[in-house]
Structure 1
Amino acid sequence: MDTHTNAVRRRHPVRRATRTTAALALLAAGALVLGAGGPQGAPSAPAAAPVLAQQDRQEQSGQSEQAGPCDLYKSVPPSGEDGPAVKAIKAKRSLVIGIDLNSYRWGARNPNNGQLEGFDIDLARAVGTAIMGDPDKVILKSVPTADRIKFIQEGRVDLIVRTMTISCERMEQVAFSRPYFTMSQRVIVPRSSSAKNLDEALNGTTACAAAGSSALEELKTRPLKKLVTPENNLDCLVLMQLGQVEATMTDDVLAASQAAQDQTVRVVDGEVRPGVMGIAMLKTSTDLTARVNQVLNDYYTSGAWRGTYDRWLKPYLLNDADHYWPTPR
């Protein structure tokens, strides 16, 4: 049932392993009407605008330095104008954004107060409020990893802001904004595991990855004993706690958050499949994509992107914010 919430203004401490199961039980899926505005965390000094200007020129020309069979950075030019897709959303007086409720520090429900919080939650709120002009007209709706594209194509959500990796295959199914975060795939194992690197963790073991994830595609190429594919990344962590899987592959940023959430697991050396995350929507909603790209530009140049990175992710990642802001190479 949809309820109004206020923005969370404080962090909560890392749960110890003995309390993990109770905390996980509170990360229930559900729709939530946004009741507070804007991204959280005080923004730092504005970042350099020329980087964004360079990306805009590349997007408009359809060119990028990104290697591969498709241009993962390609999107429509940013615009502040409301086209037919945006006007239709405003006419129904609600913008529905698909989010994650199972990824600590990205999108999760705080077990202490029931509030939604994380990097993607702040971003979803910022995008929704900028487009609708009223935070009360933004609905945050839990979407399983495996159903992200389905929810967009069926019109059950207008946008997906949920650590969604841009890929050539997905670009054929949905439209993406310009990238907003860089990432790669890493592996988590129990601290008791003898595995020192990614290959040792996966060779002949029972491994887990969420259905529909980029990690799953990578694991299909590995010499595993068994592959387990639940709906969400957090399910893999629970299965590892229960001793049913020996390794989990997921985005490096989610791997770091899971290791912070549960101190009985660790991230091993090695990474594969470098990529970028974007906001997904219908391919036919070109003007909505342009509006989202404009919001992303403003979110970055204002310092809000860096502010929410510093709040939610910096304590658990090794690099400063600039390392994770995508620029074509």
Structure 2
Amino acid sequence: MRMRGRVRTGLRGWGGVGAMAVVCALALAFVLLLPLTQSHGDGGTETGGPGVVYARQAADDDPCLDPAIKSAPEKQTLSPSSADGPTIEKIKAREGEKRKLIVGVDQNSYRWGYRNPNGGPKADLEGFDIDLVHRIAQDILGDPNAVQFKAIPTNQRIPAIQKGRVDMVVRTMTINCTRVGQVAFSAPYFKTGQQVLAPKSSGIEGYGDTLAHKKICTAEGSTAFSKLDDDKKAGRLVASADITTTVPNQLDCLVRLQLGEVDAVVTDGALAASQAAQDPTVELKGTPFTTEYYGVAMKSDADDLVRRVNQILVDYRKDTTDGWQASYDRWLSATLAKDSAKSEPPPPQYLRTS
């Protein structure tokens, strides 16, 4: 069954402070884990060398101390399988209106997971991440519409998984070594990197000395903040840069930037490109200064669900009609590039064996 995927055209010119006020109002209205049911790679299967036995971390362990995990956290996932297991069986056992996949998503990241103000009375959630959610629901429950979306702030993604409020999070979530010790990840489904977003009139040129004496905004719990914090402590970021401004949701940084409360935003380049499309007064500065990968996040012990999602991703990448490339063309080609090569994750490696 093909997922619904219509190109929404009514958002042209949807930018500026006024539009952000609307978005923020929506975010406030839905921030408390709003449930909403809606309608709605070539990933190879190479194992990529000897397997790494992935021991789940004790509370006092730091997975980043493991060289294999630190150097390639995106490879610390389980091999694909279409088999059901206890986690999937519990999802399938839900009855009636509750027989849905419960997924944490964003609702205000333009072209990733956002509410289309022209999307009818329900202001449908749409975007690249949302397409993937529908594909997972189709495979597990046989219905792409069998989804209960919950709006999750950036800094609540991991708690929502650990406390069982959602089955998974599909929300532009970077795989890193710290998070690998907190949740389980699928293989990567997107490649990006940290980048600077600032007003076009700004003298900021990128991630370097032009950030001196500038106030930089990042989201709480984000890889952007971790990178800036680490770099400042290590002397890799100019000492006078102010990184104290953090917000619960990444989009709040754009609002702060538009209001003149900060001088720059640091976030994933893929998200920053969509925000630049919303507001023509800002632009990406310089080039990405990290390489990162988005993954689907699940509970650490949900092995069967991790394997199933990895199999879905393999099939999604191979689907030339309504798969990964079609979703990229629909949502991201206008803000990133027509050629998706720079955004495609590498062939997955499944180094976690337990």
1:111 aligns with one of 117, 129, 140 = 117
1:287 aligns with one of 295, 304, 322 = 304
TM-score relative to the length of structure 1:
0.87
Tell me what 1:205 maps to.
214
Give the alignment of 1:94-173 within 5 angstroms.
94-113=100-119, 114-173=123-182
Instruction: Return the offset for 1:7.
Output: 6.1
Alpha carbons of 1:82 and 1:110: their partners in 2 closer, same or farther (altered >3 Å)? same
Asked if residue 58 in structure 1 is aligned to residue 64 in structure 2, the reply is: no
Aligned partners of 2:196 and 2:284 also within 8 Å = yes
Instruction: Return the offset for 1:201.
Output: 4.6
1:229 alignment partner, SS class: strand
Instruction: Return the offset for 1:137.
Output: 2.8
Unaligned runs of 5+ in 2: 54-67, 350-354
2:75 alignment partner, SS class: coil
Tell me what 1:44 maps to.
none
1:311 aligns with one of 327, 330, 337 = 330
Equivalents in 1 of 2:165, 2:105: separation in Å?
12
Alpha carbons of 1:129 and 1:60: their partners in 2 closer, same or farther (altered >3 Å)? farther
Equivalents in 1 of 2:167, 2:339: separation in Å?
31
Alpha carbons of 1:59 and 1:72: their partners in 2 closer, same or farther (altered >3 Å)? farther
Tell me what 1:228 maps to.
245
Equivalents in 1 of 2:163, 2:69: separation in Å?
32
Residue 97 of structure 1 aligns to which amino acid in structure 2? V
Equivalents in 2 of 1:126, 1:86: separation in Å?
15
Equivalents in 2 of 1:17, 1:283: separation in Å?
40
Instruction: Return the offset for 1:318.
Output: 3.3
Instruction: Return the offset for 1:126.
Output: 1.1
Tell me what 1:17 maps to.
16
Instruction: Return the offset for 1:179.
Output: 0.4
Asked if residue 297 in structure 1 is aligned to residue 314 in structure 2, the reply is: yes
Alpha carbons of 1:308 and 1:136: their partners in 2 closer, same or farther (altered >3 Å)? closer
Alpha carbons of 1:200 and 1:112: their partners in 2 closer, same or farther (altered >3 Å)? farther
Instruction: Return the offset for 1:232.
Output: 0.8
Aligned partners of 2:216 and 2:266 also within 8 Å = yes
Aligned partners of 2:155 and 2:219 also within 8 Å = yes
1:76 aligns with one of 75, 78, 82 = 78
Aligned partners of 1:259 and 1:265 also within 8 Å = yes
CA offsets 1:15-46 (integer angstroms, 9 cap, x no match)? 14264234424543353433323xxxxxxxxx
Instruction: Return the offset for 1:108.
Output: 0.6
Tell me what 1:3 maps to.
none
Asked if residue 262 in structure 1 is aligned to residue 260 in structure 2, the reply is: no
Instruction: Return the offset for 1:69.
Output: 3.7
Equivalents in 2 of 1:59, 1:234: separation in Å?
40
1:272 alignment partner, SS class: coil
> Which stretch of the first structure deviates more once superposed, 27-36 or 85-94?
27-36
Residue correspondences, number: 309
Alpha carbons of 1:60 and 1:101: their partners in 2 closer, same or farther (altered >3 Å)? farther
> Which stretch of the first structure deviates more once superposed, 304-313 or 217-226?
217-226
Equivalents in 2 of 1:77, 1:205: separation in Å?
45
Alpha carbons of 1:256 and 1:201: their partners in 2 closer, same or farther (altered >3 Å)? farther
Instruction: Return the offset for 1:196.
Output: 2.0
Unaligned runs of 5+ in 1: 1-5, 38-46
1:235 alignment partner, SS class: helix
Equivalents in 1 of 2:76, 2:20: separation in Å?
41
Residue 219 of structure 1 aligns to which amino acid in structure 2? L
Alpha carbons of 1:60 and 1:103: their partners in 2 closer, same or farther (altered >3 Å)? farther
Instruction: Return the offset for 1:89.
Output: 1.3
Tell me what 2:37 maps to.
34
Aligned partners of 1:60 and 1:77 also within 8 Å = no
Equivalents in 1 of 2:258, 2:111: separation in Å?
19
Instruction: Return the offset for 1:152.
Output: 0.2
Cα RMSD after superposing both structures: 2.3
CA offsets 1:136-184 (integer angstroms, 9 cap, x no match)? 4311111010011100000011100000000011000100000000110
Equivalents in 2 of 1:69, 1:197: separation in Å?
25
